Amino acid sequence: MTINEASERYRIPIEVLREYESWGLCGEVKRVMGAWQYDSRDLERLSMIMTLHDVGFSNGEVETYMRLLLSGRDTEQERMRMLNRLRDCAMDELHFKQKQLDRLDYLRYKIQQAAKQHG
């Protein structure tokens, strides 16, 4: 499967595919008649890359994670640390957003109470 076919079929942006190729992580990718050919293992890796991007990893973090993943099972603890750090950040953001909602609801409540007193 060519880069354009992979991009269209799996809805992976060409930029992500090019990034993947540039990392040299695609040992299974072959150049055939001037075009990269993706096999099922490459597509599984690309799916993981898209997931990592979707959860908020930077390009550098994705590359680090993928290099660790391809290095084998002895990297599980480091990959777990990376995931835990991102999860902790996400939880902090959620808590901050919850505080914002609480404050917004308080302000709305105050307006509603004032309207009841004047209406």
- How far is residue 48's CA from residue 69's CA, in Å, rounded to a whole number? 10
- How far is residue 110's CA from residue 50's CA, in Å, rounded to a whole number? 44
Sequence-distant (≥ 6) Cβ neighbours of residue 63 within 8 angstroms: 23, 25
pLDDT tens for the chain, 119 residues long, are 778 888 888 888 888 788 877 877 665 456 665 666 777 888 888 889 889 999 999 989 998 999 999 888 899 999 999 999 999 999 999 999 999 999 999 999 999 999 999 87
The values of phi and psi at residue 97, to 5°, are -65, -35
pTM (2 decimals)? 0.72
